Structure 1
């Protein structure tokens, strides 16, 4: 057993480098598709946009002048040209990542828990505390379609072609919807509150994670199980919850992050973990957790943002 523990630990790497984005930590964060832009909702200084590798804080993004906003959710458009932020007062702001100027300001029809932005930035998918996920026209305003759960919606994702949306809820289910018809395509019971979801580039795969460390990749066409991300979850009892995930563009790899600083790269074809990191925390002597809030694939490296206010690069 001692040898086994040593071998497993030996396979785990640390980050290559990290940057301090927030002194205390983040309420939420997001990374652009290429990992070169980071949006954070800081505990102390509201919203801000950062650019890498210059490590430059480009814009302060708050919803009221002179006031640090409590940013609860953020997302980038697929083309990286727009970003959206949501605060605890139900306000939504669409921003240009080029000029830093606001493009639209709206009041959401409920308290927001999560958000995703369409590829062109015209449509925002909102997860709400009142059991709904809604498609909201963030350019012109107005709800375009509503998707219902039996409890609060914690996580949402929209496909690159806007044809499918995925929502995860406290009602233990993740649901896949057709945006054109509003039809429910699949509903998966995860046995606990669903906390994280993601769709692959061509919406071939859906990632779903629940609070009991169970996480799965499902086929969006058949609904069948493609990959059990944590196959030992049942006999482990309770392990770290997977808080974030992103698929590679070719839909062959999956990058996941957890509540205990772990990041793993999964090969979906081989059905196994091929890289494993555990990133640093601020005070190594204190048993404080770091939830991985956002992930991105780079050209020859990977990016992650932790709830402790650090952005990490991994190889």
Structure 2
């Protein structure tokens, strides 16, 4: 049978149509709250989406209750010259907030808003932070390549020296016993915080810019500054999947595993928010957070993301907005 001139291109048309449908990007959140008057430097969201904390020049550190849609507390670091807080973390059980500027870090209690402690690094600079249940353990990644693990009750400080260059990202297991760190030496390490012994090494072709642990102890996420983002089995150290994307360069600024271990949510400096299948690395859905007012071209970095109920995500971005997004997957 001879194909007509139009029917020859039907398969191509259908392919383009299917591709366009699969790549549709949602830009309208189902809820939105303004948490800062202007741009924010950092943000964190609790694992259940209940609390969101941000840092901005206008408001210092603010923490919000997303269920009641209200401001809870407003905090400031003591040194006015160092009040640009660029790193924030909320403990997995919603007990504390850890905040850091370049040379100082502070701990705050969510129950009453009180400051629990304030510390200054004697050397180097703070690069990233993490905190365990009840703030029993703190993790500080530093500019000189060191990572400091602090046991709060005893004051014990253990220095991990496995990296040879600057630290970019750190994470801590809920019980504080395991740390995941990534740096400019193209390496990510999973290590024991009691002994500083390396459990698994995760090499990359360029500097490691983002790491994250599954709180349930199943997976680790590591991503570099170019085109490699990987999910690992932390029991065996074996690769589970690589995130499948076509961009020549893909940077991640926020990462969260779902409680059931099926999904991974990521945010990027390019406004992109995405949902991935953990086992295959396939992208399932994509959104774009609202840009900062007045930015040209329209831009915003996703600072934090969390699963919000069974079928929603909540994001915090540099636009100063918290936004809720509907997860709506096509049934195969």
Q: TM-score, normalised by structure 2?
A: 0.86
Cα distance in 1 for partners of 2:320, 2:72 equals: 17
Displacement of 1:186 in angstroms is 1.9
Q: Say which structure is richer in strand.
A: 1
- Give 2:11's aligned residue: none
C-alpha displacement at 1:222, in angstroms? Answer: 2.5
State which of 13, 31, 47 in structure 1 corresponds to 2:61: 47
Q: Is the 8 A contact 1:134 1:147 kept in 2?
A: no
1:311 aligns with 2:322: yes
Residue 212 of structure 1, aligned match among 226, 230, 233: 226
1:267 to 270, 277, 283: 277
Structure 1 residue aligned with 2:126: 112
**Structure ID, larger Rg:** 2
Residue 294 (structure 1) aligns with: 304
1:101 to 114, 129, 148: 114
For 2:253, the equivalent position in structure 1 comes to 243
Contact 1:123 1:136 in 2 (8 A): yes
After superposition, the C-alpha distances for 1:91-123 in whole angstroms (9 at most, x for unaligned) are 221111111111122223441111000112111
Whether the aligned pair in 1 keeps the contact of 2:244 and 2:282 (CA below 8 Å) is no
User: Which of 258, 265, 274 matches 2:268?
Assistant: 258
Residues 23 and 286, structure 2, Cα contact 8 Å, conserved in 1:
no
Map of 2:12 onto structure 1:
none
Check whether the contact 1:72–1:112 (CA below 8 A) recurs between aligned residues.
no
Q: Could you tell me how far apart the structure 2 residues matched to 1:9 and 1:274 are?
A: 9
Q: 1:159 aligns with which of 149, 159, 173?
A: 173
CA displacement at 1:14 relative to structure 2: 3.1
Query: Number of matched residues?
Result: 310
Paired residue secondary structure (1:34):
coil
Give unmatched runs, 5+ long, in structure 2: 1-14, 327-332
Structure 1 residues 11 and 25: CA distance shift in structure 2, 3 A = closer
Gaps of 5+ in 1: none
Q: Deviations over 1:56-109 (max 9, x none)?
A: 222111122888821121111111011111122x22211111111111222234
How is 1:16-35 mapped onto 2 (pairs within 5 angstroms)?
A: 16-35=30-49
Q: 1:284 to 1:278 in 2, by over 3 A?
A: farther
Q: Partners of 1:285 and 1:59 in 2: how far apart?
A: 28
Q: Say if 1:33 and 1:297, in contact at 8 Å, map to a contact too.
A: yes
How much is the aligned-residue C-alpha RMSD, in angstroms?
A: 2.3
Change (3 A) 1:52 1:196: same
| SS of residue paired to 1:148 | coil
What is the rounded CA distance, in whole Å, between the counterparts of 1:67 and 1:183 in structure 2?
Answer: 37
Find the counterpart in structure 1 of residue 286 from structure 2: 276
CA shift digits 1:252-302 (9 cap, x unpaired): 221111121111122224542222212221358832332211111122321
Q: 2:194 aligns with which of 180, 195, 211?
A: 180
Give the drift of 1:237. 2.6
Query: In structure 2, what is the Cα distance between the partners aligned to 1:224 and 1:34?
Result: 28
Match for 2:160 among 146, 151, 156? Answer: 146
